[in-house]
Protein backbone atom coordinates (compact mmCIF):
# COMPACT_ATOMS: atom_id res chain seq x y z
CA UNK A 1 0.00 0.00 0.00
CA UNK A 2 1.34 3.38 -0.96
CA UNK A 3 1.27 5.97 1.79
CA UNK A 4 2.74 9.46 1.42
CA UNK A 5 4.18 11.07 4.54
CA UNK A 6 5.41 14.50 5.47
CA UNK A 7 6.16 16.24 8.75
CA UNK A 8 4.89 19.73 9.33
CA UNK A 9 5.12 21.62 12.61
CA UNK A 10 5.67 18.52 14.72
CA UNK A 11 2.80 16.66 13.06
CA UNK A 12 3.29 13.61 10.85
CA UNK A 13 0.77 13.71 8.01
CA UNK A 14 0.21 10.44 6.20
CA UNK A 15 -2.01 10.25 3.13
CA UNK A 16 -3.42 6.98 1.88
CA UNK A 17 -3.34 7.03 -1.90
CA UNK A 18 -5.36 3.90 -2.63
CA UNK A 19 -9.12 3.62 -2.44
CA UNK A 20 -9.49 0.73 0.00
CA UNK A 21 -8.09 -0.91 3.08
CA UNK A 22 -9.38 -4.46 3.12
CA UNK A 23 -8.23 -7.98 3.96
CA UNK A 24 -5.95 -8.02 0.92
CA UNK A 25 -4.00 -4.92 1.98
CA UNK A 26 -4.52 -4.56 5.74
CA UNK A 27 -1.24 -6.16 6.79
CA UNK A 28 0.72 -4.15 4.25
CA UNK A 29 -1.04 -0.95 5.43
CA UNK A 30 -0.24 -1.71 9.07
CA UNK A 31 3.40 -2.51 8.32
CA UNK A 32 3.88 0.63 6.23
CA UNK A 33 2.22 2.80 8.90
CA UNK A 34 4.49 1.27 11.53
CA UNK A 35 7.56 2.04 9.42
CA UNK A 36 6.47 5.64 8.88
CA UNK A 37 5.53 6.31 12.51
CA UNK A 38 8.67 4.69 13.93
CA UNK A 39 10.95 6.92 11.88
CA UNK A 40 9.21 10.09 13.09
CA UNK A 41 9.31 11.73 16.50
CA UNK A 42 6.08 13.68 15.87
CA UNK A 43 3.63 13.36 18.75
CA UNK A 44 0.60 13.79 16.49
CA UNK A 45 -0.02 11.55 13.51
CA UNK A 46 -2.81 12.57 11.13
CA UNK A 47 -3.96 9.91 8.67
CA UNK A 48 -5.68 11.47 5.65
CA UNK A 49 -8.25 8.89 4.55
CA UNK A 50 -10.03 11.05 1.99
CA UNK A 51 -9.09 8.62 -0.82
CA UNK A 52 -10.39 5.55 1.04
CA UNK A 53 -13.81 4.60 -0.34
CA UNK A 54 -13.96 1.15 1.30
CA UNK A 55 -12.82 -0.15 4.68
CA UNK A 56 -13.69 -3.64 5.90
CA UNK A 57 -13.19 -5.18 9.34
CA UNK A 58 -9.59 -6.13 8.49
CA UNK A 59 -8.88 -2.55 7.48
CA UNK A 60 -10.50 -1.22 10.65
CA UNK A 61 -8.44 -3.67 12.68
CA UNK A 62 -5.29 -2.43 10.96
CA UNK A 63 -6.09 1.21 11.79
CA UNK A 64 -6.73 0.25 15.44
CA UNK A 65 -3.48 -1.76 15.50
CA UNK A 66 -1.59 1.34 14.34
CA UNK A 67 -3.13 3.34 17.19
CA UNK A 68 -2.15 0.66 19.71
CA UNK A 69 1.40 0.48 18.35
CA UNK A 70 2.00 4.18 18.99
CA UNK A 71 3.59 5.23 22.26
CA UNK A 72 1.03 6.33 24.87
CA UNK A 73 2.01 9.98 24.46
CA UNK A 74 1.36 9.90 20.70
CA UNK A 75 -2.00 10.31 19.03
CA UNK A 76 -3.42 8.96 15.79
CA UNK A 77 -5.98 11.31 14.29
CA UNK A 78 -8.07 10.60 11.21
CA UNK A 79 -9.07 13.06 8.54
CA UNK A 80 -11.40 13.18 5.55
CA UNK A 81 -13.43 10.02 6.10
CA UNK A 82 -15.75 9.30 3.19
CA UNK A 83 -19.40 8.62 4.16
CA UNK A 84 -18.97 4.85 3.78
CA UNK A 85 -15.84 4.76 5.93
CA UNK A 86 -17.36 7.16 8.45
CA UNK A 87 -20.31 4.77 8.81
CA UNK A 88 -17.94 1.89 9.67
CA UNK A 89 -16.34 3.98 12.42
CA UNK A 90 -19.72 5.10 13.74
CA UNK A 91 -21.31 1.61 13.73
CA UNK A 92 -18.34 0.11 15.56
CA UNK A 93 -18.17 3.11 17.91
CA UNK A 94 -14.56 3.66 16.94
CA UNK A 95 -15.53 7.28 16.31
CA UNK A 96 -15.36 7.67 20.09
CA UNK A 97 -11.78 6.33 20.19
CA UNK A 98 -10.24 8.41 17.42
CA UNK A 99 -10.16 12.16 16.97
CA UNK A 100 -11.76 12.51 13.55
CA UNK A 101 -11.41 15.68 11.49
CA UNK A 102 -13.96 16.33 8.75
CA UNK A 103 -11.13 17.58 6.55
CA UNK A 104 -7.42 18.05 6.97
CA UNK A 105 -6.93 20.56 9.83
CA UNK A 106 -6.25 24.15 8.78
CA UNK A 107 -2.64 24.81 7.96
CA UNK A 108 -1.96 21.16 7.10
CA UNK A 109 -3.99 20.78 3.91
CA UNK A 110 -1.08 21.39 1.56
CA UNK A 111 1.61 19.92 3.78
CA UNK A 112 0.83 16.27 3.06
Return all residues near 1 (Cβ < 8 A) that are at least 6 apart: 16, 18, 21, 25, 28, 29, 32
Fold for the domain defined by 3-101: Transcription Regulator spoIIAA (3.30.750)
Q: Which tens digit of pLDDT belongs to each residue from 7-30?
A: 988 899 999 999 999 999 999 999
Q: Which pLDDT belongs to residue 1?
A: 82
Distance spanning both ends of the chain, measured CA to CA: 17
For the cut 90, the answer to whether the pLDDT of residue 108 exceeds it is no
- How many Å apart are CA 48 and CA 46, to the nearest integer? 6
Give the pTM. 0.91
- How many Å apart are CA 108 and CA 51, to the nearest integer? 16
Looking at the chain, the number of H-run helices and the number of E-run strands are 3, 7
Task: Name the residue ranges covered by the structural domains of the chain.
Answer: 3-101
Q: Which tens digit of pLDDT belongs to each residue from 62-82?
A: 999 999 999 999 999 999 999
Determine the 3-state secondary structure of 64 from DSSP: helix
- Exposed e or buried b for every residue in 12-37, given b needs 16+ CB within 10 A? bbbbbebebbbeebbeebbebbeebb
Amino acid sequence: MELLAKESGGILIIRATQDRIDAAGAIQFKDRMRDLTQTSAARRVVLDMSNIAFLDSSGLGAVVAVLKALAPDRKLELSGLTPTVQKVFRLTRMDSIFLIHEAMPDGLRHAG
